[in-house]
Structure 1
Amino acid sequence: MLIKRLFPLFIILCIFACKQEVHLNKIKGERLSISDSLVGDPDIEAFIKPFRDHVNNDLDSVIAYAPLTYSKTNGEYNTAIGNFMADAVLQESNPVFKQRTGKDIDMVILNYGGIRSIISKGDITARTAYEVMPFENSVVVVQLPGKQVQLMVDYLRESTKAQPISGMKLTLNSDSTVNEVLIGGEPLNLDKTYHVATNDYLYNGGDRMTFFHPNDSLYVLDYKIRNVLIDYFKKIDTLQPVRDDRFTKLNN
């Protein structure tokens, strides 16, 4: 009988206790130094090693050769490494785009800041592509009216960096006004639409490239710039990019 009498009181006390608020008064932390003195777990190391070796073998396999060292600082309006990257995007992406749409890419624009490393003289590996383009940026193709392309020209004219382009030839006068704009060898037509390849970061306004909006259509190729470079490297024996007249400024 005593148990039966105390049981309701027990239930009430439990409910009251559950309603009490709990407050955190103190957090105690401890700093753990990470250094070479830390000993790895041999079982984990043994498990990871085959995968690490496989990845390293893939990354370090020689796929091309660079006879010179190429840097994005070697040129004022266009650079060999920038020209190579833009040309690679055009060459490797156009077949994908044409298969899906039946159309061709007219031109490519990338960004100077997206070139994150030099290409050193010597063997080129897949790791080279990861160093030059460590980001996950992918190729997109934007259908732009000629008036939007003119805004792109204005951006290039005002830029202080050698932004990589392909399929376009831009010549400035000595006072930085536009002398000539050719796309596919033809003068820019403001009443025409053009298919411009770039990457998703720039399409979304990266590096202040706001001229991609508005547009007529967007095509997402699901093709990473890094993979573009690797595919391009695999098709050549020796990398031979050069500075040319695709973007120049007249002296007088």
Structure 2
Amino acid sequence: MYRRNSIFLGLFIALSSCSTFYQPTSLQHTQYKIDASIRSDSSVVGMLQPYATNISATMNKVIGTCADTYTNKRPESEIGNFLADCYKEMGEKKFARKIDAAFMNAGGIRSYLSKGNITVGKIFEIMPFDNILILQELKGSVLQQYLDVMAADGGWPVSKGVTLQIKNKKAVNILIHGKPLDPNAVYTVAHSDYVANGGSDCSMLKPIPQINLGYLMRDAIVEYIDSQTKAGKTIQPVIENRVTNAD
């Protein structure tokens, strides 16, 4: 045992005292083009087939119906309103508390809603990231800074009950449930962990505690659409002038 420990100690001293620094001077690689000319490996195909079948069945599952095709636009869009409302409603159910507002960073919407059947795969296209829906309690003055970031970026989706105008890349005339934004009040907001951790220039949110239940935003969308379908509703969001340009 003593001899073994001595060997390890010697190796540790030798490695920790090594002052030589190695830096690569060149890099070589080969590109391979994957196309129809490459023969498939039947053994690999057979191994993957059960997984592919299960994934296809999941992704092709129809969970609802969309009344029209809705794309992502600034400062406000139907799909943006749909997502923000989804996060507010599902957030209130999941966290069992009242939420004043929900937001979605516009750059995080990666696809559109197509007219007709809505599949799980389409939701993965819209929200390909494993972002988590979290809550934060923001003082009104911090919420103002947050909304200013949204305004400077051309406008982000906001949930029902929130309206604002964009003037000189700042958020003005902000109303939360019909009342002017109070810089001293505290508002409970729902949004992504990406934004809460400072993403999309939202560094003002990083110091603020997060309420996190590990609830994926993608799951919130799927569950929201499923609940609407069970209620006999189609997905039909509209523009409500929640975010407008004052200039």
Residue deviations 1:151-178 (CA, integer Å, cap 9, x gap):
1232233332x31111452333777775
**Aligned partner (choices 127, 134, 138) of residue 132 of structure 2:** 138
**Aligned partner (choices 117, 120, 125) of residue 114 of structure 2:** 120
In the alignment, which residue of structure 1 is the partner of 2:84?
86
User: Cα distance, 1:112 vs. partner?
Assistant: 0.9
Distance 1:213 1:145, change over 3 A: farther
- The residue type paired with residue 214 of structure 2 is D
C-alpha separation in 2, matches of 1:31 and 1:113: 31
In the alignment, which residue of structure 2 is the partner of 1:232?
224
Say yes or no: does 1:180 pair with 2:143.
Answer: no
In the alignment, which residue of structure 2 is the partner of 1:36?
36
Extract unaligned runs of 5+ from structure 1.
1-26
Say yes or no: does 1:107 pair with 2:105.
Answer: no
Between the aligned residues of both structures, percent identity stands at 29
Q: Is the 8 A contact 2:101 2:162 kept in 1?
A: no
TM, length-normalised to structure 1: 0.77
C-alpha separation in 2, matches of 1:245 and 1:28: 55
Say yes or no: does 1:68 pair with 2:68.
Answer: yes
In the alignment, which residue of structure 2 is the partner of 1:151?
145
Residue deviations 1:169-228 (CA, integer Å, cap 9, x gap):
23337777755222233322222211111111111222112231432x311121111111
Q: Is the 8 A contact 1:70 1:80 kept in 2?
A: yes
User: Cα distance, 1:58 vs. partner?
Assistant: 1.2
C-alpha separation in 1, matches of 2:28 and 2:55: 40
User: Cα distance, 1:143 vs. partner?
Assistant: 1.3
TM, length-normalised to structure 2: 0.78
Residue deviations 1:7-28 (CA, integer Å, cap 9, x gap):
xxxxxxxxxxxxxxxxxxxx99
Distance 1:39 1:88, change over 3 A: same
Secondary structure (helix, strand or coil) at the match of 1:46 reads helix
Extract unaligned runs of 5+ from structure 2.
1-26
Q: Is the 8 A contact 1:141 1:221 kept in 2?
A: no
Larger Rg: 1
In the alignment, which residue of structure 1 is the partner of 2:53?
53
- The residue type paired with residue 232 of structure 1 is Y
Tell me the C-alpha RMSD between the 2 structures.
Answer: 2.6
C-alpha separation in 2, matches of 1:148 and 1:117: 30
